[in-house]
Structure 1
Amino acid sequence: MTTTTFVLAGGCFWCLDAAYRALKGVTEVVSCYTGGSAPHPSYEQVCTGTTGHAEAVAVTFDESAIPAQVILDAFFTMHDPTQLNRQGADVGTQYRSAMFPADDEQRKLFEEARRRASEIWPGEVVTTIEPLGEVYPAEEHHQDFFAKNPTQGYCLAVAVPKVNKVRAAFSEYLR
């Protein structure tokens, strides 16, 4: 098994976490904070928008079960990469659309995925490709939040439609 981890931000990490967990070949999803300057930020600190961190997920997957391209195309399916520093009602730099490559190979894959997305989405794709700095796991109650809170209002209103988009577009890769 050859595993790879991508660190991606596209709005609230609960949504990305839930959507990726629906795909076979995804072996781990960790909700996390990255892209900022404050060491060991808390959720409350990140929510202020002053730390520079984005809510992100570290998605680890088995490339023999699901191609890297599918992981990245799913990323551009589960959020709107044309919204600058927001996803719907979630507003602030902590909700930005960003990709954090671990090396030059990932940077190239991310650039190709962003280019593919720009051919599909109307308007300008504003997803940034930023250096991967320190990644801080979010607090335990944020991990696998959707599975733990399936009837929570935000999950029903925001996460479920995103998960359904990924399920429809990538049905051959569903668990």
Structure 2
Amino acid sequence: MKNRIIIAALIAGTLALSLLFNGCANKPGTAKDKAQLEAQAPEAVQADSLTYEPTQEEATAYFASGCFWCVEAIYESVEGVREAVSGYAGGHTKNPTYEESNTGRTGHAEAVKVIYDPAKVSFSQLVDVYFGSQDPTQVNGQGPDRGSQYRSIIFYQNEAEKEIIDQKKAALAEKLGEPVAAEVKPFDVFWEAEAYHQNYEVQHPDNPYIQNVSIPRLNRFKAKFPELLKANSH
């Protein structure tokens, strides 16, 4: 009897940890979940579109590296970045929803659109941020988030960007002595994610996934690149 109780407790503990650390795959996606978020932070989810357009002095870049909650927060901590927007890219369907992309059947990866000032931060530095804030050898995911929808992709918009990406990827692979998992793809289209996904880490700092996965990943990046951070991000 005692042994059965111990085994049951161990199973329960394992299940709890699984639910905790597989959090990005369990992001709110149902109407009920969305309604709860709207009630908690209506100012963050009133609009279906939160489109941000660059000014004439700004540029855009697109990256996929696991959960977009994490990646958005990382890039928004970088000096020269005005905004990072969560969305979907790299797939073959139009207007994907979170529920559709999370199946892995649309071909999309969770991605971020980074709007930045090239006079303050270069595309080359944004690629350094990309590789320096992830496990570059993990295939189809980052950390506990597994699946093609969490795969790593760097999108290029011209040959100059592609050359920067290819050189940095090759140098990193040589340094690590193993392949770098990130795909290098021409940019096609970016589909903005639902409003309740935007600025999620800031809006929900007490979420278990944010506490145990996203914030530690952000802090590891900050410790590695203090010279790239905004003054209020230290």
Q: What is the TM-score normalised by the length of structure 2?
A: 0.71
Runs of 4+ in 1 over 6 A off after TM superposition: none
Instruction: Report the residue type matching 2:119 in the other structure.
Output: S
Identical amino acids, percent of aligned pairs: 36
Amino acid at match of 2:181: V
| 2:147 counterpart of 1:147 | no
Shift of the alpha carbon at 1:116?
3.4
Deviations 1:98-150 (A, max 9, x none): 11111212111211221233244453201111121221000111111100111
Query: What are the ranges of 5 or more consecutive residues in structure 1 without an aligned counterpart?
Result: none
Query: How far off its partner does 1:157 sit?
Result: 1.1
Instruction: Give yes or no for contact 2:136–2:181 (8 Å, CA) kept in 1.
Output: yes
- 1:166 is matched with which residue? 221
Partner secondary structure for residue 163 of structure 2? helix
Instruction: Tell me, yes or no, if the aligned pair for 1:47 and 1:94 is still in contact at 8 Å.
Output: yes
Contact in 2 for aligned 1:10/1:81 (Cα 8 Å) = no
Contact 2:142 2:150 in 1 (8 A): yes
Match of 2:147 in 1: 92
Partner of 1:78: 133
The residue number in structure 2 matching 1:28 is: 83
Call closer, same or farther: CA 1:84–1:71 in 2, change over 3 Å: same
**Larger radius of gyration, structure 1 or 2?**
2
- In structure 2, how many angstroms separate the alpha carbons of the residues matched to 1:16 and 1:43? 16
Q: Does the 8 Å contact 1:85/1:96 carry over to 2?
A: yes
CA distance in 1 between counterparts of 2:155 and 2:207 reads 29
Of the three residues 142, 156, 163, the one matched with 1:101 is 156
Aligned residue pairs total 175
Q: More strand per residue: 1 or 2?
A: 1
Higher helix share: 2
Instruction: From 30, 35, 41, give the equivalent of 2:96.
Output: 41
| Contact 1:77 1:165 survives alignment (8 Å) | no
- Measured on the aligned residues, the alpha-carbon RMSD in Å equals 1.5
DSSP-derived class of the 1:126 partner: coil
Matched position secondary structure for 1:28: strand
Larger relative CO (CA 8 A, sep 6+): 1 or 2? 1
Aligned amino acid, residue 161 of structure 1 = P
Q: Distance in 2 between matches of 1:68 and 1:132?
A: 14
Aligned amino acid, residue 154 of structure 2: M
Gaps of 5+ in 2: 1-55
Q: State TM-score, norm by structure 1.
A: 0.94
Task: Name the structure 2 match of 1:130.
Answer: 185
Question: Structure 2 counterpart of 1:165, which letter?
Answer: R
| Separation in structure 2 between the aligned mates of residue 7 and residue 53 of structure 1, nearest angstrom | 13
Indicate how the Cα distance of structure 1 residues 120 and 141 shifts in structure 2: closer, same or farther if over 3 A, else same.
farther
1:3 is aligned to: 58
Secondary structure of the structure 2 residue equivalent to 1:130: strand
